[in-house]
Structure 1
Amino acid sequence: MASIKPSVPKGTRDFSPAEMVKRNYIFDTIKSVFRKYGYQQIETPTMEKLSTLTGKYGEEGDKLIFKILNSGDFLTDANIDASNINLNYKKLTLQISGKALRYDLTVPFARYVVQHQNEITFPFKRFQVQPVWRADRPQRGRYREFYQCDADVVGSDSLLNEAEFIMIYDEALTKLGLKDFSIQINNRKILSGIAQVIDKSDNIIDLTVAIDKLDKIGLDGVIKELLEKGFTDADIDKLKPVILLEGNNTEKLASLREALAQSEIGLKGCDEIETVFGYIERCPLQTAKLELDITLARGLNYYTGAIFEVKTNEVNMGSIGGGGRYDNLTGMFGLKGLTGAGISFGADRIYDVLEELNLFPAGSNQTTQALICNFDKEGELYSLPLLQRLRRHNINTELYPAGAKIKKQMEYANNKNIPYVVVIGGDEMQTGLLTFKNMASGVQEKLTADEIVAKLNRD
């Protein structure tokens, strides 16, 4: 039998120990901030019922759901003639597949809230860090299996939630070492108001899709696209001052209020943004620049209020986070009128940013702090009490199995980036003074077991 060349499916990845330390550093940092703001962690199954996921992401999204074949002889169970499968693929899928890998964390969260509504304390603040799967075409930065890092609050329409999401982004990304990043905010109601004042409410999608491209295709490109979609020169004249808003956030809001004076919904959007800014004034941000950007139109079919997007200004990278306010998330499962808001961190992109800026902490690629080297069974047995003491002091320690030459043991420490080595030979066992080596500086000293524990505790 021919040997099979080992590989992973396209669009998936292995993560080495060094990569996992860095990934966990990102996840642990973000989770610690979520918890600080009262968010509690949940997990949902890797797979959901296909009926739970289908129809929630639009026709294109449905095509990207990874279906799972029913176990056993699914063709017999489905009453299908296996020799002549000439069925519509959608009908066939429903007969041979009842489950699918989750496409995102939002729909499973909505299902969870409805299913557990009698156990949940509302407002319900949850976070979730788990992998999702999409049958997309793999390319650079786009994977079929990737992690999402979400926080949502449901059952509260308070704008304090939006303000806290801004604070969470600011605190988490500051903790990760970013020094120059922007949190852009807009409001769906403002976009609706803009469409209303030029009498193009039915074309709001065309309008927002075009202005969302302003930074990519410029004003001329936006105007060209709008004219092609049926907007008039008069419409464009009204839109220009709004699209090209200038000044600080207060000045932008004043200009918007003037432009949207005839739109009740547009002014309500301005009020909501102003309220969020008021909260932030009382809780100043550490690092982030908070910017009103009315060209921001992500997820327009989904969001009903605030819309967020986070970008780093230190690296040429797309969005590293985003979210917004939505109404009736749980309505798809029969629980109407439950408003919510949520954000997501782009963990994979954040990883690339930290790597490029060299922001991972020194030693973040090392998991073992000390290696105990010995030469024989007697040294191995002598080492065990010290090994246990160090571990009880939460010092990650390994004991190299007896019998290897000291050179091999030192190479092991170097290859794993272990910063300290304790060498125990005959002299060390006789005197109780153990050889303690700093692998970075090469400095060696003779220390007692107590001194080694104390020294590693300080580090």
Structure 2
Amino acid sequence: MKPSLAKGTRDFSSEEVFRRKFIINTLQNNFELFGFQPLETPSFENLSTLTGKYGEEGDRLIFKILNSGDYASKTKDEDWNSKNSQKLISQISEKALRYDLTVPFARYVTMNHGTMTFPFKRYQIQPVWRADRPQKGRFREFYQCDADVVGSESLWQEVELVQLYLQSFSDLKIPVTLHLNNRKILSGLAEYAGISKHLIEFTVALDKLDKIGKEGVIKELLEKNISQTSIDKLEFLFEQTDDSMENLLLLKEKFVEDDLGFKGVEELEFVFNKCLDLGISLENLKFDITLARGLDYYTGAIFEVKADEVAMGSIGGGGRYDNLTEVFGVKNIPGIGISFGLDRIYLVMEELGLFPQSIENSVKYLFANYGERESLEALKVIFQLRKNGISAELYPESAKLKKQFTYAEKKGIPNLVFFGEQEISENKITIKNLESGEQKTLSINEFLN
């Protein structure tokens, strides 16, 4: 049988791994600059830990793991015969691959809060899995790079996370716009339109505006039994100006009699004003009233990052989730977090040609192979180079020099080293730079120093 990859997964070549490490190292450096500490959790969790945290749509995308052994014998005959998948899941699957890093983090906090120092700041860079339909920039296995703060309700955390986002993407040289909204504003809009009982359906549909357009959102709202009268009251959502502060002021007027919506506007105003005071341009920040990020656990600020010059979905997102640990029985631990989409960031950087050439190959010197004696002497020099932190290798076979040249060029090794019988007798070494064609001979000590 011809081998193939599972849909939505990929192999990574050495070049791709070098590039991914470049992104990860950039993010990790910024996480630690901002005071976040590393954490890792298992690749799979109890299914009960994950379900009910992402909304109905998210629950469908969780990869379930079949119980080991004869799982079918433990099912109820009527459920098995009727092929009732919803009832069967709880009988044949107790574990699931993690859907994101935030819920496992909340589970970790719940289990360890008695020994933690709050506010607790953690970052986590690990793969997650979603049973989604694969498409450009969307995979079934992908990495998330998260930074979260728990144990603080301070809006300065929102301001700091805006800085973390913008500094990280600046270091990666990706021009971005950071879209912000607040879950309290969405709740206020639902109250304003008289559809509070349809809040989840409303926010899930609204979150798809950039994908399905105004007509698509209205159609979905009507299908969810939301009246045309309510939809008409929300018409202004689709007619926002480019001035974020003006949009916030207009919204404030509509929320005069809605305390929750009004508070959401005030929280966003604080974040925008403090960012402006810190010199952050409104060109990089946008109040996006239609941004919903259809996850049930957000309670306050919502973030989403989009690349300015590439047609791609969000390359980062997150928000405040003050009630998340309550589902695990622990109250009063507020939290806020953001995520960087490694795979989409990679695609954006590739399309814009932003990867430095220097990261794609770590080998600096290839020593030509002239035979057994020469190879032994070459390996002695290579040993010294490696002790000095310089990557070098010996061509494994005594082949024609043309073949060794070709190998170095294809691997992108910049220098070919000649250390044959004459060089060994004179205690010298000859180096040819394959990019410039320049060739020079040095003593071994000069070369090593």
TM-score (norm: length of structure 1): 0.88
CA distance in 1, matches of 2:285, 2:341: 19
CA distance in 2, matches of 1:18, 1:175: 20
The answer to whether the 8 Å contact 2:198/2:226 transfers is no
Change (3 A) 1:215 1:86: closer
The answer to whether the 8 Å contact 2:53/2:297 transfers is no
Within 5 Å, give how 1:387-406 maps onto structure 2. Answer: 387-406=382-401
Change (3 A) 1:235 1:424: closer
CA distance in 2, matches of 1:389, 1:250: 61
How far did 1:399 drift? 2.1
Q: Deviations over 1:220-246 (max 9, x none)?
A: 66667667755456873x544554332
1:134 counterpart residue number: 130
The answer to whether the 8 Å contact 2:180/2:288 transfers is yes
The answer to whether the 8 Å contact 1:174/1:287 transfers is no
How far did 1:337 drift? 2.4
CA distance in 1, matches of 2:184, 2:314: 22
The answer to whether the 8 Å contact 1:328/1:338 transfers is yes
How far did 1:415 drift? 1.7
Does the alignment pair 1:351 with 2:346?
yes
CA distance in 1, matches of 2:297, 2:323: 10
How far did 1:288 drift? 6.5
1:53 counterpart residue number: 50
Change (3 A) 1:47 1:194: closer
Within 5 Å, give how 1:33-432 maps onto structure 2. Answer: 33-74=30-71, 78=74, 88-178=84-174, 180-205=175-200, 207-209=202-204, 211-215=206-210, 230-231=226-227, 236=232, 239-241=234-236, 243-246=238-241, 248-285=243-280, 289-299=284-294, 301-432=296-427
Change (3 A) 1:388 1:53: same
The answer to whether the 8 Å contact 1:42/1:128 transfers is yes
How far did 1:12 drift? 1.6
1:449 counterpart residue number: 444
How far did 1:202 drift? 3.2
Change (3 A) 1:248 1:434: same
2:14 counterpart residue number: 17
Change (3 A) 1:216 1:88: closer
Q: Which amino acid aligns with 1:411?
A: T
Question: For structure 2, which runs of at least 5 residues remain unmatched after alignment?
Answer: none
The answer to whether the 8 Å contact 1:197/1:262 transfers is no
1:457 counterpart residue number: none
Q: Deviations over 1:9-42 (max 9, x none)?
A: 2222111111111111111111111111111111
CA distance in 1, matches of 2:243, 2:254: 17
Q: Which amino acid aligns with 2:285?
A: L
Supply the RMSD in Å over aligned alpha carbons.
2.8
Change (3 A) 1:87 1:151: same
Change (3 A) 1:298 1:53: closer
Q: Deviations over 1:146-191 (max 9, x none)?
A: 212221111111111111111111111111111x310011111122
Q: Which amino acid aligns with 2:284?
A: K
CA distance in 2, matches of 1:46, 1:342: 20
Question: For structure 1, which runs of at least 5 residues remain unmatched after alignment?
Answer: 455-459
Q: Of the candidates 27, 44, 58, which is equivalent to residue 30 of structure 1?
A: 27
Identity %: 52
How far did 1:372 drift? 1.8
The answer to whether the 8 Å contact 2:144/2:339 transfers is yes
CA distance in 2, matches of 1:340, 1:234: 33
SS in 2 for 1:128: strand
The answer to whether the 8 Å contact 2:432/2:438 transfers is yes
SS in 2 for 1:55: coil
Greater Cα shift, 104-113 or 130-139: 130-139
CA distance in 1, matches of 2:227, 2:83: 44
CA distance in 1, matches of 2:136, 2:268: 36
How far did 1:354 drift? 0.6
Change (3 A) 1:227 1:93: closer
The answer to whether the 8 Å contact 2:299/2:323 transfers is no
Change (3 A) 1:378 1:286: farther
How far did 1:215 drift? 4.6
The answer to whether the 8 Å contact 1:51/1:98 transfers is yes
Greater Cα shift, 59-68 or 159-168: 59-68
SS in 2 for 1:279: helix
Equivalenced residues, count: 446
SS in 2 for 1:403: coil
Change (3 A) 1:50 1:222: closer
SS in 2 for 1:9: coil
How far did 1:429 drift? 0.9
SS in 1 for 2:357: coil
CA distance in 2, matches of 1:287, 1:449: 57
